[in-house]
Amino acid sequence: MTDTVTATLPIDLGSGPFAVTTRGLARRFGSVRALDGLDLQVPEGAVYVLVGPNGAGKSTLIRTLMGLVRYQAGAVSVLGRDPGDRGAEVRSGIGYVPEDYRVGYAWMTVGRLLEHQAVYHPSWDAEYARELRARYDIDPGRKCHTLSKGQSRRVQLVLALAHRPPLLLLDEPTDGLDHVVRDETLSILSEHLADSPTTVVISTHRVYEVEPLVDHVGVLSEGRLLGQLPRDELRGGLLRYWADVPEGWTGPGELGGRVVRRSGAARAIEWTVWGDRDAVTRGLSQAGAAVREVAPLSVDEAAVALLSGRKAS
Amino acid sequence: MKIRLSHADGRPLYVQIMDAVRSGLVRGTLRPQDPLPSVRDLSSSLRVNPRTVSQAYAALERDGVVQVRHGKGTFVAPGVRPEEKERPRLAREVARRALADASRSGLALPDLMTALRELDRDSHGDGRKEDGR
C-alpha cells in the first residue's frame, strides 16, 4: 500500500558565489517542454549531481550550459558568461563528457585527437594527460571509429579532465564502462578534486556510484527542479519514519513536516517526511504512533520518493 | 589504516572516517605520532570527495585526536589516551547502534542484554571473533 503526496523541497541555495546559474530557463522541442522555467544554482567548487528520469531534461540542460542548445526564455550564466552568445569562450573553460559516445573524426587516431585538444586548450597538462591515458590503458594508435563504447568513454574522460578546467559537465560519465574502469574513474575523480579547484555537474542514473563524491543534489522532473539542496541538508531534513500505529489510524492533524510519501501496512507505517526530525517524531507520537526508527535516505531513495510523489499528483 | 565505508549506514561518511581512526587507536593499529594518509590518498582509495576527508580530519583535530602539521600532513596527537577517551566513546557509539537496531525489531534493553551475555558466554575464549568480520 503506497500513497504519495506532492511535495517540493527547497531549491534556493542562497547568494553564491555560483559557477553556474539559470533563471526561468525554458526550451521546447515542438510541443515538448524540455526545460520549463528552470532555476539552477551550482555553487563554486560544488560537486552537484543532477537526478531525474529519462526525458526530465538533464542532457538538454547540460547541452544548454555548453551553448550547444539554444534556449528560448530565461537567463543563463556559466563561469560568468552567457553560453547563448559566447559559446566558444564558455566551452574553453569546460571539460565535457557528452551523452554521445562518438569522439573526434572517424579516421583520426586517439593520439592525434589528444594533440588536437592540447592545442585548443592552453591549460592542457600533457603529463596529466599521459598519466590518465596510461591508467585508462588507452592505445594512442587506435582510430576513433574502431573504439568501443567503453574505450570512447575513457578517451572522453581524458579529454575532459586533462586541461584541468574550472567546470566539468559530465553526462552519464560511467556509462558503458565495466566495473573495474568505473571504480578507477571514481578514484581518478577523487584525486582530480583534491588536485584542481573544480566545479562539477554530474548527470547520472547510477547515483549510488557517485554519491560519496557529491555535495549538492538537484532532482529534475519534466524540465523543472523538485528540489535543489546541499547533500547534508537532504540527509538531515528528508527522513523516513517507521512507526507502529493503532488499527484504523488516520494520522496526525498537525505534523510539523511535509509528507513526501506514505506507505506501509495496516498497523505499521513508513512515511517519508521533509521537516525537523524532533518535531515530526513528536507529531507522530502525539497522534498515537510508536516511532520505531528514523533514518536518512540515500540520494537514490530520496529521488524515488520525490519523483513518485510527483507522478501521483 | 583500513577503512570500510558503508553507504547503508546511517552515519555520515565523515563520521565513519572519524570512527575508523578511533577504532584504530583502540586496537593499537594507530599509535601517537603515527601519520594518517593524506587527504588525497584517502579520498582516492575511498572514492569520496576530498572535502569529506578534510572534514573528518578537522573534527578529529578539534577533538584533540590528531594534529595537522602544515606542509607535513596529519598525525595522531602525541597525548592521545585511547583507553580513557576513545574506547568509551567508541563503545557508546556501538551501543547506540545496537539499541537502535533492537528498537527497530521491537526489542527492549533487557532482551538485548540477555542475548549479549549468552552470546559472550557461548564464545568465551574466542572473544576476538568479531574482529575477523
Report chain B residues whose CB lies below 8 A from the CB of A47: 49
Inter-chain residue contact A212 with B40, CB threshold 8 Å = no
Based on the fold, state whether residues A262 and A304 are members of the same structural domain.
Answer: yes
| d(CA B125, nearest CA chain A) in Å | 35
| d(CA A84, nearest CA chain B) in Å | 32
Burial class, A198, CB count within 10 angstroms (exposed 0-12 / middle 13-18 / buried 19+): buried
Say how many Å lie between the first and final Cα of chain B, rounded.
16
Tell me how many domains chain A contains: 2
Is residue A109 in some structural domain? yes
Report chain A residues whose CB lies below 8 A from the CB of B51: 193, 215
Other Cβ atoms within 10 Å of B72 Cβ, number: 9
B11: nearest CA partner in chain A: A296
Residue-wise pLDDT for B34-91, tens only, equals 999 999 999 999 999 999 999 999 999 999 999 999 889 999 999 898 888 889 988 9
Is residue A3 in some structural domain? no
Based on the fold, state whether residues A118 and A204 are members of the same structural domain.
Answer: yes
* Closest in B10, B51, B104 to A292, CB measured: B104
Using a CB–CB cutoff of 8 Å, tell me whether B46 touches chain A.
yes
Using a CB–CB cutoff of 8 Å, tell me whether B44 touches chain A.
yes
Residue B130 clears pLDDT 80, i.e. is over it? no
Tell me the longest C-alpha to C-alpha distance in chain B: 52
| d(CA A212, nearest CA chain B) in Å | 5
What Cα–Cα distance (Å) separates residue B123 from each residue in A44, B52, B98, B112? Answer: 54, 38, 19, 16
Using a CB–CB cutoff of 8 Å, tell me whether B115 touches chain A.
no
Based on the fold, state whether residues A242 and A213 are members of the same structural domain.
Answer: no
Residue with cell 553507504: B7
Inter-chain residue contact B43 with A215, CB threshold 8 Å = no
Closest CA relative to residue A280, chosen from A297, A298, A295: A295
| Cα separation, A184 vs B45, whole angstroms | 10
Residues 13..32 of B with a Cβ closer than 8 Å to A: which? 13
Residue B7 clears pLDDT 80, i.e. is over it? no
The residue out of A189, A205, A229 marking a domain boundary is A229
Is residue A1 in some structural domain? no
Is residue A5 in some structural domain? no
Based on the fold, state whether residues A145 and A282 are members of the same structural domain.
Answer: no
Based on the fold, state whether residues A224 and A287 are members of the same structural domain.
Answer: no
Based on the fold, state whether residues A237 and A216 are members of the same structural domain.
Answer: no
Residue-wise pLDDT for A146-183, tens only, equals 999 999 999 999 999 999 999 999 999 999 999 999 99
Range of the domain at A280: 233-312
Report chain A residues whose CB lies below 8 A from the CB of B49: 47, 190, 193, 212-215
* Closest in A187, A195, A292 to B103, CB measured: A292
Closest CA relative to residue A40, chosen from A22, A24, A65: A22
Interface test with A, best of B14, B39, B40, B44 (most A CBs within 10 A): B44
pLDDT of B133: 42
Q: C-alpha cell of B59?
A: 573534527
The residue out of A209, A229, A249 marking a domain boundary is A229
Q: The domain that contains A89 carries what CATH number?
A: 3.40.50.300
Interface test with A, best of B47, B55, B101 (most A CBs within 10 A): B47
Report chain B residues whose CB lies below 8 A from the CB of A191: 40, 43-44
Q: C-alpha cell of B39?
A: 587527504
The residue out of A229, A253, A282 marking a domain boundary is A229
* Closest in B10, B44, B47 to A296, CB measured: B10
Based on the fold, state whether residues A179 and A282 are members of the same structural domain.
Answer: no
Which helix (H) or strand (E) element contains residue A137?
none
| Cα separation, A42 vs A36, whole angstroms | 18
Residue A139 clears pLDDT 80, i.e. is over it? yes
Residue A265 φ then ψ, to 5°: -100, -170
Based on the fold, state whether residues A203 and A240 are members of the same structural domain.
Answer: no
* Closest in A190, A193, A235 to B12, CB measured: A235
Strand A41-43 and strand A199-203: pairing?
unpaired
Inter-chain residue contact B51 with A191, CB threshold 8 Å = no
ipTM of the complex: 0.88
Is residue A66 in some structural domain? yes
Give buried/exposed letters for A141-161 (b at 16+ CB in 10 A, else e). ebebeebeebbbbbbbbbbbb
Write the CB contacts of A79 (distance below 8 Å, at least 6 apart in sequence). Answer: A19, A20, A90, A93, A94, A166, A167
Based on the fold, state whether residues A209 and A261 are members of the same structural domain.
Answer: no
Q: For chain B, list the domains and their CATH numbers.
A: 13-76 (1.10.10.10), 82-124 (no CATH)
pLDDT of B36: 96
Residue A187 clears pLDDT 50, i.e. is over it? yes
Side-by-side strand order, sheet with A257-264: A2-4, A257-264, A268-275, A238-244, A290-296
Inter-chain residue contact A183 with B50, CB threshold 8 Å = no
Based on the fold, state whether residues A114 and A165 are members of the same structural domain.
Answer: yes
What is the DSSP secondary structure assignment for residue A310, as one 8-state letter? H
Is residue A64 in some structural domain? yes
* Closest in A194, A211, A293 to B7, CB measured: A211
Based on the fold, state whether residues A218 and A129 are members of the same structural domain.
Answer: yes
pLDDT of A6: 47
Is residue A254 in some structural domain? yes
Interface test with A, best of B44, B46, B49, B104 (most A CBs within 10 A): B49
Inter-chain residue contact A293 with B104, CB threshold 8 Å = yes
Based on the fold, state whether residues A125 and A99 are members of the same structural domain.
Answer: yes
pLDDT of B93: 87
Residue-wise pLDDT for A276-307, tens only, equals 999 999 999 999 999 988 999 999 999 999 98
Residue B125 clears pLDDT 80, i.e. is over it? no
Is residue A4 in some structural domain? no
